[in-house]
Structure 1
Amino acid sequence: MIDLRRLQVLRAVHRHGTVTAAAGVLHLTPSAVSHHLRELSRELRVPLVEPRGRGIRLTSAAHLVVEHADALLARWEEAETALESYRAGEAGLLRMCGFATAVVGLLAPAAALLRERHPGLTVQVSECGTAGGFDLLLATDADIALIDPNEDAPPPGDGRFDQHLLVEEPHDLLVPAGHPLAGRPAVRLAEAAAEPWIIPARGTCHHHERILTYCAAAGYNPRVAHYATEWPTISALVGHGLGVSLMPRLAEVSSGRPVVRVPLDGDPLPVRRVQVCVRRGGRDHPLVRHGLRALREVVDASPALPPAAPADTEAALRRP
């Protein structure tokens, strides 16, 4: 018999490259990870690791096992889901995670909605980056993750995850009160070409690359006057008239001085795709279904988000 936990350990080493890194994600000691690898190798009767300098690397046999492990664990997830559906319990722990603005605009109101409708359900929300969200799902420390797709994310067809578009979140042009563009119902991004810009520094977050990409699509390279990463800092700099910036619709303005969010118009329209992700085989778990429905309702009811929000999540719930 193969211990499925050891397959998860092998998969974590494959993803993170070292025993130490895998141990940190799985909340184990490095020696425990090494023990699981040795026992799995004994059970399968093939070597799974070999020395490489001061560390190890996976053998060809290990890579073959990882390929099949994804399917095996997905089927086991489906089996657990079927059992939980059979019990149809309304009590339990639902863990959701996501990036900061997703927590503020989506996960927090969804958790409040779940608490109101399902008093026996315990909801736990964690803030994390996109890569961290996938790690929490794999380690079974989260059941639903809201992610901001980027180069850290596995491809859409990754067999370990079930990913669907939740909403395309618009970006607004953030300008100081009294700015010539502040009174407009909507503006094109090209109209801000001559403005000084406030953007995150390169390497601090993905919003840096997004702003440059959106501005390039509008026909210019922004003249950067100041660098800031946190939304309160960006809001304060804009409020003092030091430049303009782009702000996702779910991000909250926090500034001691008045700023104005001006909706953007034109094509292409700057948007951020917010994906909802669960483990493959786990979307029909009753608690996960509650969470997905609550997120869908929050999106549909939000005045800040497009009224015709995509229905991918609800369609996924209805799929056999």
Structure 2
Amino acid sequence: MEPVSNSFTVDLRRLGVLRELARRGSLARTAAALHLTPSAVSQQLTALSREVGVPLIERAGRGVRLTGQARVLLEHADVMAAQWEEARAALSAWQEGRRGEVTVGAFSSAITGLLPHALRPLTEQHPDVRITVVEAEPPDLFTRLDAGEVDLAIAVDFAAAPPHTDRRYTRVDLLVDTLDLALPAAHRLAREQDIPLRDLAGDTWIVGDPRSCCGAITRSLCAANGFTPDIRHAVNDWQSLAALVEAGLGVALVPRLVQPLHRPGLVLRSPAGPPPTRHVFAAVRAGSDGDPILSAVLEQLRATAARINPYPPSSRTSPQPLRASR
């Protein structure tokens, strides 16, 4: 391989492939995320390696791993990506934010309980700004954010989300969402308050996909209370889940962002002990928060979240019931 040149050039799209490999850990998963073939991913990385003059991947068993030089390059790639986003934001600011497009990616209950309250005033204040909403969850949500398919992501802190220290994103904490127990009205504990989860160990549970936030939280909480839930129904749609609970087919944990569920045969009760919560945040690509339109959307989200939940994520006060759906 040629030594590193003082005048080497780098294709930013190939840098994006390397960043995705660092995130996904394998050529196959990287190819699937970028809608390429593993062979195409390998070719892109080989071309990037020639451009910079150092090896970037090496064989590791049946797969590959990043070299030390690749990790050094990735540190600079994050800086370059942020600077490129700053340049884009500066060009957009030239237009004073009067026109533009913003695509917001969010998980389903944020679309139900947060976005309608935030986007209505935005569309009134900025009638020439086109705002599009798509449903997505980490890690794919952040792959789409990196690729520019989404301009702003709304997500929940859990294993699939990027850490607070990830320099690729500017992050705004929004609110703490509490989860309640959803029980059929005829359930033996329906009249009780502060129900220990352990008392529901023998019940049938209705739980979403384990890769989703609420699905992961439910499984984790049940495990922390000493049992594995008997998951009879795997449902991600909240209205469908509520209908099953109302029919007496199981119990579930439901976030307050999607309440009330308008089901007369369903009751909501608090679990005993500290309330189960999830932290909701917004993120944009590092450097892009200078875009006047994105800045306006972030500010409206922050203001709306403060109205929905007076106890922000940094507060030490116990979260109170959310009232977003009234």
TM-score range, shorter chain: 0.7 to 0.9
Question: What code does the residue aligned with 2:194 have?
Answer: R
Counterpart residue number, 2:176? 168
The 2-side partners of 1:260 and 1:87 are apart by: 51
Counterpart residue number, 2:294? 288
Counterpart residue number, 1:76? 84
Secondary structure of the residue aligned to 1:250 is helix
1:200 corresponds to 2:207: yes
How many pairs were matched up? 305
For residue 52 of structure 1, report the CA deviation from its aligned partner: 5.7
The 2-side partners of 1:267 and 1:94 are apart by: 41
- The 1:242/1:27 distance shift into structure 2, 3 A limit, reads closer
Question: What code does the residue aligned with 1:10 have?
Answer: L
For residue 169 of structure 1, report the CA deviation from its aligned partner: 0.6
1:308 corresponds to 2:319: no
Does the Cα contact within 8 Å between 1:109 and 1:298 map onto a contact in 2? yes
Map 1:6-45 onto structure 2 (within 5 A).
6-27=14-35, 33-45=41-53
The 2-side partners of 1:203 and 1:56 are apart by: 28
Question: What code does the residue aligned with 2:244 have?
Answer: L
For residue 221 of structure 1, report the CA deviation from its aligned partner: 3.9
The 1-side partners of 2:36 and 2:249 are apart by: 48
Deviates more, 1:83-92 or 1:93-102: 83-92
Question: What code does the residue aligned with 1:260 have?
Answer: V
Cα-Cα RMSD: 3.3
Which one of 222, 229, 233 corresponds to residue 235 of structure 2?
229
- The 1:27/1:88 distance shift into structure 2, 3 A limit, reads farther
- The 1:201/1:11 distance shift into structure 2, 3 A limit, reads closer
Counterpart residue number, 2:267? 260
Question: What code does the residue aligned with 1:121 have?
Answer: V
Does the Cα contact within 8 Å between 2:209 and 2:235 map onto a contact in 1? no
The 2-side partners of 1:50 and 1:25 are apart by: 21
- The 1:109/1:41 distance shift into structure 2, 3 A limit, reads same
Question: What code does the residue aligned with 2:276 have?
Answer: P
Which one of 5, 14, 21 corresponds to residue 13 of structure 2?
5
Deviates more, 1:292-301 or 1:130-139: 292-301
Q: Deviations over 1:125-167 (max 9, x none)?
A: 1111221111111112111111122222222101112233211
Does the Cα contact within 8 Å between 2:218 and 2:253 map onto a contact in 1? yes
For residue 104 of structure 1, report the CA deviation from its aligned partner: 1.9
For residue 168 of structure 1, report the CA deviation from its aligned partner: 0.5
For residue 49 of structure 1, report the CA deviation from its aligned partner: 3.5
Counterpart residue number, 1:210? 217
Stretches of structure 2 lacking an aligned partner (at least 5 in a row): 1-8, 316-326
1:275 corresponds to 2:281: yes
Secondary structure of the residue aligned to 2:54 is coil
- The 1:197/1:255 distance shift into structure 2, 3 A limit, reads farther
Counterpart residue number, 1:318? none
The 1-side partners of 2:274 and 2:242 are apart by: 25
The 1-side partners of 2:205 and 2:118 are apart by: 32
Counterpart residue number, 2:153? 145
TM-score, normalised to structure 2, is 0.78
The 2-side partners of 1:191 and 1:25 are apart by: 37
For residue 30 of structure 1, report the CA deviation from its aligned partner: 5.4
Deviates more, 1:137-146 or 1:81-90: 81-90
Counterpart residue number, 2:195? 189
Which one of 112, 119, 135 corresponds to residue 104 of structure 1?
112
Q: Deviations over 1:75-109 (max 9, x none)?
A: 22223223323432321111110111122222344
Question: What code does the residue aligned with 1:307 have?
Answer: P
TM-score, normalised to structure 1, is 0.79
Question: What code does the residue aligned with 1:116 have?
Answer: E
- The 1:13/1:233 distance shift into structure 2, 3 A limit, reads same
Q: Once superposed, which parts of structure 1, at least 4 consecutive aligned residues long, lie more than 6 Å away?
A: none
The 1-side partners of 2:19 and 2:221 are apart by: 37
For residue 301 of structure 1, report the CA deviation from its aligned partner: 3.9
Counterpart residue number, 2:3? none
1:126 corresponds to 2:134: yes
Counterpart residue number, 1:245? 252
For residue 298 of structure 1, report the CA deviation from its aligned partner: 3.0
Does the Cα contact within 8 Å between 1:205 and 1:229 map onto a contact in 2? no
Percent identity (aligned): 36
Secondary structure of the residue aligned to 1:129 is coil
